[in-house]
Amino acid sequence: MQYRTLGRTGITVSTLSLGAMNFGQIGRTTPAEATAMVDAALDAGINLIDTADAYRDSELLVGQAIAGRRDDIILATKATLPIGELRNHQGSSRRWLYTQVDNSLKRLGVDHIDLYQMHRWDPATSDEETLSALTDLQRAGKIRYFGSSTFPAYRIVQAQWAAQANHLSRYVTEQPGYSILQRGAETHVLPVTEQYGMGVLVWSPLASGWLSGAVRAGQDVTTNRSTFMPQRFDLSLPANRAKLEAVEQLAHIAQEAGLTLIQLALGFVNAHPAVTSALIGPRTMAHLRSQLDAADTVLPPDVLDAIDRVVAPGTDLAPDEKHDAPPALLDPHLRRRTAQPALSLPIA
């Protein structure tokens, strides 16, 4: 296992981190299986575990799995996504973050969180409100650092400016989606994180199973994601056909280089100088072992050049799957000026 410094925090983390989204209900992983995977990951040298309040019972299972060895682990979790149906049980307000930090601490069974991340940018809450709350939680000792996840580049910049202008602590990490098939982060997000010295924890480096070998031409799709995100694997859609064509070419590149497709995919994201660690999200022990085999993969320039010829730098093969689009791209009412009623002048 290799290690890198997480931004400018001084913390050293493994270049593969354990993402726990599949622990519990989402991935149908039992408590025993989750604990076994945590054991194997730690034994392999992984020292960062990432979960979220929105991952159903994941925090509970992570807490059970790390009991008695908290000091050896960089523990990361997230907030902001809706929890239940109540109106204010979401977002990045001080009210909700104060509630959710305590809830996460209880579920995890710990007295502090190393890295507390805003799961998505909350357009209803000002940067000053959120950063002020996070800074106070940091000073109270409940969190050590805080970061963002899937923020558009301009929002990362705005938050850095807001922290400086208001003398508040700043986001020290960003967690973007990034893979060979989804390279849009290279255009704006990764250059911005480099500019501000932020650590980068990449999610979905295997592109929801597309780069694990679970989606190949002429074979049944075997990834669990296809059961609750079927549109992302519907080969009647042009974007998915483009991904399948790319996967077949990438599989050939991997074979020629003596690598598995997983090694190629994880080696690719960790080759970018802005990336600190790639989050792997295994559902089974077999998944974990196949991903740990990529821990020390370093891709030579000719292999990286071959990947660039398949998917050009900065290109998203499935742009609709992005989670960092400005709200106006998703809601047509936000990009259309409302017609103003004609001005009626009084008659003298």
- CA-to-CA distance for 19 and 290, rounded, in angstroms? 15
State residue 229's pLDDT score. Answer: 78
pLDDT score, position 214: 86
Asked if pLDDT for residue 217 goes beyond 90, the answer is no
Kindly state the average pLDDT of the residues 64-79: 95
**Residue 103 near residue 85 (C-beta atoms within 8 A):** no
Confidence of residue 342 (pLDDT cuts 50, 70, 90): low
Q: Which helix (H) or strand (E) holds 285?
A: helix 285-292
DSSP string, 89-154: SSSS-HHHHHHHHHHHHHHHT-S-EEEEEESS--TTS-HHHHHHHHHHHHHTTSEEEEEEES--HH
What are the angstrom distances between the C-alpha of 140 and each of 46, 112, 113?
A: 28, 10, 12
User: Considering the domain boundaries, does residue 58 fall inside one?
Assistant: yes
Average pLDDT over residues 105-131: 97
> Tokens for 104?
């996460």
- Report the sign of the C-alpha dihedral through residues 101, 106, 109, 111, in that order: positive
- The CB-side HSE value for 51 (13 A sphere, CA atoms) comes to 28
Give 325's pLDDT tier (boundaries 50, 70, 90): confident
Instruction: To the nearest 10°, report the CA torsion of 133, 138, 143, 149.
Output: 50
Q: What is the mean pLDDT of residues 99-117?
A: 98
For residues 167 and 56, the model is more confident at 167
Q: In the chain, pLDDT over 90 holds for what percent of residues?
A: 81
What's the Rg (C-alpha) of the chain?
Answer: 21
Domain that holds residue 95: 12-175
Q: What is the mean pLDDT of residues 145-152?
A: 97
Q: Identify which has the larger pLDDT, 224 or 172.
A: 172
What is the pLDDT, as a whole number, of residue 343? Answer: 58
pTM of the model: 0.92
CA distances from 195 to 187, 235, 265, 267 (A): 13, 39, 25, 23
Question: Rounded distance, CA 27 to CA 272, Å?
Answer: 29
Q: Look at residue 277 and tell me whether its pLDDT is greater than 60.
A: yes
Tell me, what CATH number does 33's domain have?
A: 3.20.20.100
Lowest mean pLDDT among 164-173, 271-280, 329-338: 329-338
Q: What percent of the chain is modeled with pLDDT above 70?
A: 97
pLDDT in tens, 41-61: 999 999 999 999 999 899 999
Active centre residues (catalytic) = 55
Q: What is the pLDDT of residue 332?
A: 84
Q: Output 214 or 154, whichever has higher pLDDT.
A: 154
Q: How far is CA 118 from CA 121, 125, 149, 170, 275, in A?
A: 7, 12, 6, 12, 19
**Is 165 a member of any domain?**
yes
Residue 265 covered by a domain: no
| Contact (Cβ atoms closer than 8 angstroms) between residue 49 and residue 82 | no
In a domain, 248, yes or no: no
- pLDDT at residue number 172: 98
> Is 96 among the domain residues?
yes
What residue has token string 């507390």? 116
Residue of 162, 114, 157, 121 whose CA lies nearest to 11: 114
Residue 228 has pLDDT above 90, yes or no: no
How many degrees, rounded to 5, is the angle at CA 117 between CA 199 and CA 51? 100
For the chain, the average pLDDT equals 93
What average pLDDT score do residues 66-92 get? 93
Is residue 290 one of the residues assigned to a domain?
no
> Using CA atoms, how far apart are residues 39 and 46, in angstroms rounded to an integer?
10
Q: How confident is the model at residue 345 (pLDDT cuts 50, 70, 90)?
A: low
241 in a structural domain: no
Q: CA-CA distance, 264 to 258, in Å (whole number)?
A: 10
Q: What are the φ and ψ backbone dihedral angles of 70, each rounded to 5 degrees? A: -60, -40
DSSP three-state, residue 77: strand
Of residues 227 and 51, more confidently modeled: 51
Up-side HSE of residue 79: CA atoms within 13 Å toward CB? 26
Number of domains in the chain: 1
Instruction: Report how far residue 118's alpha carbon sits from residue 150's, in angstroms, rounded to the nearest whole number.
Output: 9
Q: What is the rounded CA–CA span in Å between residue 248 and residue 147?
A: 36
Note whether residue 158 is domain-resident. yes
Looking at residue 51, its pLDDT comes to 98
Q: Residue 90: its pLDDT value, please? A: 93
The residue-averaged pLDDT of 207-229 equals 82
Q: Please give the Cα distance from 260 to 249 (Å, whole number).
A: 13
